[in-house]
């Protein structure tokens, strides 16, 4: 008789209990390979259960490969324990104290708007989700609302059919790169790390372009990824002349310009610069995101692609069911109708303007700002040794601040990138105090030597 105990008071069906028990006996070596098992009839009698219970358990274990049925000769242990590794828990990663991240991507969201957020999800709770797989380009009403939003805020005159909803900027970048013929992708350097990683993930070579100028020769390049409204992470705004030259270069080389318009709404000084895509819809792929105006954790964005590319991407998405989730789309529709995005952006702009001044006051004596005051982070050029000391001091105080060099691939700019969106005022003050302590460890750098290092020569293009 098998050493098995079945418990009728547990909610687990007897057949499942039995198969689990036998599985353990085999895995544990109690029942060795080749061992003959009692017949289902005999075991049922032994255990006082119906024969269907034992049959079901054996069938299950045969399907799992633990047991095998030899025709007319009964049931045997089939598993070779050496071939069936014990799953067992894997060692957990040693957990370190969680740091408060001063990153470039976490926004400040006006808590006074939380009622609209709650309303949006309550609307989701009562709306009827679509039966099956829907149009991968997104909900028609949402595409309409986004077209209106983009016309109003970004100068893009669109038919709603031209807008496609994505699961965020890098999702959009992935989808469009996957639909382009082979060829390298030019990415600003320093630049958005997720963009370079996405291109590489798709097997495309990444060409580094110095971020302080717009590329004017795209020959041999399939696509150029740029952040013209607010270069990530330097903060530079691409001037009109460079924009026109970039589009000219793209036309000459038959390359696509990918415009990542990730945080253009957060200018404090002037109206947001219109989207590059408003200049040439057939040459520019436009990417937008809710990560800065709603929450990164929503994983939702949009893209506006040249007509033929749009069609190709949506055909592919239909094949692979590659769509943004319906609930998030439905919630964003509510938020747009409520004017939530506008209100959150307006409130955040005031907060950022104020915080950016505090960052500048703290770091100004030690470095040079890499761009104008805008967005939810600012980048400071300073010698690497200073930046590292400041970063370490912040880490000791419980804050994670990124080095500018972490955004560089072949560029050699050094300094700090300080996000101030995703923290409280008190946290920002504490983090700035720690950074300053670190920078003062050597005393403030003299004005002559502080600030920018000469940029490295442009990386060879291939």
CA atoms of 277 and 157, how far apart (whole Å)? 10
Candidates 214, 218, 187; CA nearest to 200 is 187
Q: Which of 48, 70, 133, 449 binds a second copy (CB under 8 A)?
A: 133
Residue 392 near a second copy by CB under 8 A = no
> Tokens standing for 179?
């639909």
- Residue of 45, 51, 212, 326 interacting with a second copy (CB under 8 A): 326
For the bound state, the minimum distance from the C-beta of residue 199 to a second copy, rounded and expressed in Å, comes to: 10
Query: Binding a second copy by CB under 8 A: which of 22, 214, 331, 348?
Result: 331
- Contacts for 250-254 with beta carbons within 8 Å, 24 or more apart? 250/218, 250/224, 250/283, 250/284, 251/283, 252/218, 252/219, 253/217, 253/218, 253/219, 253/220, 253/221
Measured CA angle at 330 (ends 327, 334), to 5 deg: 135
By beta-carbon proximity to a second copy, the closer residue of 240 and 361 is: 240
Q: How far is the CB of 389 from a second copy (least distance, A)?
A: 25
Nearest of 389, 382, 366, 351 to residue 106 by alpha carbon: 351
Residue 28 contacts a second copy per CB under 8 A? no
261 binds a second copy (CB under 8 A): no
Does position 131 interact with a second copy (CB under 8 A)? The reply is: yes
284/416 with CB nearer a second copy: 284
Q: Is 406 in the site for a second copy (CB under 8 A)?
A: no
Gyration radius of the chain over CA positions:
29
Measured from the CB atom, is 221 or 324 closer to a second copy?
324
Which of 300, 345, 416, 434 binds a second copy (CB under 8 A)? It is: 300
- Cα separation, 313 vs 177, in Å, equals 9
Binding to a second copy in span 159-178, by CB under 8 A: 159, 161-162, 167-168, 170-171, 174, 178
* Sites for a second copy among residues 51-80 (CB under 8 A): 56, 59-60, 62-65, 68, 78
Assess contact for 249 and 216: CB atoms under 8 A: yes
Q: Which is nearer to a second copy, 174 or 389 (CB)?
A: 174
Q: Which of 9, 96, 126, 446 binds a second copy (CB under 8 A)?
A: 126
Query: Which of 2, 6, 202, 373 is in the footprint of a second copy by CB under 8 A?
Result: 202
DSSP per-residue codes, 56-74: HHHHHHHHHTSEEEETTTE
Determine if 270 is a binding residue for a second copy (CB under 8 A).
Answer: yes
CB of 329 to a second copy, least distance (A): 9
Residue with tokens 């490295």: 456
The reply on whether position 307 binds a second copy by CB under 8 A is yes
Q: Which region among 255-263, 295-303, 335-343, 384-392 touches a second copy (by CB under 8 A)? A: 295-303
Rounded Cα gap, residues 209 and 409, in angstroms: 10
Cis peptide before 233 (omega within 30 of 0): yes
For residue 351, what are the CA distances in angstroms to 34, 104, 354? 72, 15, 5
């Amino acid at each position: 008789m098998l050493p098995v105990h079945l418990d009728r008071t547990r909610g687990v069906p007897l057949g499942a209990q039995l198969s689990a028990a036998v599985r353990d006996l085999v895995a544990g070596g109690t029942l060795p390979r080749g061992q003959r098992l009692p017949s289902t009839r005999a075991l049922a009698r032994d255990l006082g259960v119906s024969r269907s219970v034992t049959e079901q358990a054996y069938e299950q274990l045969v399907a799992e490969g633990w047991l095998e049925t030899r025709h007319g000769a009964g049931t045997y242990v089939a598993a070779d324990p050496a071939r069936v590794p014990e799953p067992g828990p894997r060692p957990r990663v040693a957990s370190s104290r969680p740091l408060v991240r001063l990153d470039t991507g976490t926004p400040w969201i006006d808590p006074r708007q939380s009622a609209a957020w709650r309303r949006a999800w309550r609307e989701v709770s009562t709306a009827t989700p679509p039966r099956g797989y829907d149009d991968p380009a997104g909900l028609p009403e949402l595409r309409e609302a986004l077209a209106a939003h983009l016309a109003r805020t970004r100068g893009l005159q669109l038919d709603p059919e031209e807008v496609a909803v994505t699961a965020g900027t890098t999702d959009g970048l992935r989808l469009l790169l996957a639909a382009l013929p082979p060829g390298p992708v030019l990415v600003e350097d320093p630049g958005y790390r997720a963009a370079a990683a996405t291109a590489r993930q798709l097997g495309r070579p990444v060409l580094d372009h110095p971020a302080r100028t717009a590329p004017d020769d795209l020959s041999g390049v399939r696509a150029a990824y740029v952040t013209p409204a607010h270069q990530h992470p330097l903060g530079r705004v691409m001037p009109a002349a460079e924009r026109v030259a970039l589009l000219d270069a793209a036309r000459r080389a038959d390359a696509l310009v990918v415009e990542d318009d990730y945080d253009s709404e957060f200018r404090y000084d002037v109206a947001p610069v219109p989207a590059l895509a408003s200049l040439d819809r057939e040459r520019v792929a436009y990417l937008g995101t809710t990560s800065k105006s709603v929450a990164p954790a929503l994983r939702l964005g949009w893209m506006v692609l040249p007509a033929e590319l749009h069609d190709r991407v949506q055909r592919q998405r239909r094949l692979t069911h590659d769509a943004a989730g319906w609930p998030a789309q439905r919630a964003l529709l509510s938020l747009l109708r409520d004017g939530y995005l506008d209100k959150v952006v307006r409130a955040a702009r005031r907060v950022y303007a104020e915080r950016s001044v505090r960052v500048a006051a703290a770091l100004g004596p030690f470095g040079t700002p890499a761009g104008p005051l805008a967005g939810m982070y600012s980048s400071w050029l300073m010698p690497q040794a200073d930046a590292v000391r400041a970063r370490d001091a912040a880490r000791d105080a419980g804050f994670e601040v990124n080095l500018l060099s972490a955004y560089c691939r072949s560029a050699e700019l050094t300094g700090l990138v300080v996000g101030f969106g995703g923290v409280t005022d008190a946290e920002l003050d504490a983090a700035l105090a720690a950074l300053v302590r670190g920078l003062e460890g050597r005393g403030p750098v003299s004005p002559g030597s502080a600030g920018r290092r000469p940029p490295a020569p442009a990386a060879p293009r291939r």
